[in-house]
Structure formats: structure tokens, C-alpha cells
Amino acid sequence: MKTITFTDFRKKASGFITEVEHGETLVLLRRGKPVAEVVPYTDEAKYAPSWKEPGIQLKIQGDILSSAILDERKGNP
């Protein structure tokens, strides 16, 4: 992993992109603080966001819950 300033990246972007193509990861600094990470592209996702992971599916016996709620709202026992 290589750390460079944002100004230096702008001046020499082509060379840095070539380094990324060869597997290097760059961390861009602005005023001494990291603001971005440039990583080589890959078709494979490193991880799936939590909202894409399958959730827990609860199975209960009996009536469908949504039907029971609607019946209760209508006043049907």
C-alpha cells in the first residue's frame, strides 16, 4: 500500500494508475488525512453488503400473520 498526496496524484495520475493496474493500492491524502483509497479492479466482490445477505426466515404454524392482523382491524375474530 502506497500513501500519496492528492496534489501529487493529480500531477502524476497516469503513472499511479499504471501502478494500480499492477496490483498496488494507493491511499490519497488531503491535508495529511486519508480521503480515498484506489484499489485494483476485480470482478469478484470482496464482501456482500449486509442488506444483500439472506435474512432469517421465521416459520410459524397457524394462520398467516398479515391475514390475522387484517382480520383484527376489521373486527373479525
DSSP codes joined into one string, 2-17: EEEEHHHHHHTHHHHH
The third-level CATH classification (topology) of the domain covering 1-41 is YefM-like fold (3.40.1620)
Do residues 16 and 37 make contact, with C-beta atoms less than 8 angstroms apart? Answer: no
Higher pLDDT, residue 69 or 11: 11
Residue 69 pLDDT greater than 90, yes or no: no
Which range among 25-29, 32-36, 59-63 shows the weakest confidence by mean pLDDT? 59-63
Burial grade of 19 (CB within 10 A; 0-12, 13-18, 19 or more):
middle
Who contacts 30 (Cβ-Cβ below 8 Å, separation ≥6)?
Answer: 5, 6
| Domain segments of the chain as ranges | 1-41
Cell numbers 470482478 correspond to what residue? 43
pTM: 0.56
Q: pLDDT for 17-26, tens place per residue?
A: 999 999 999 9
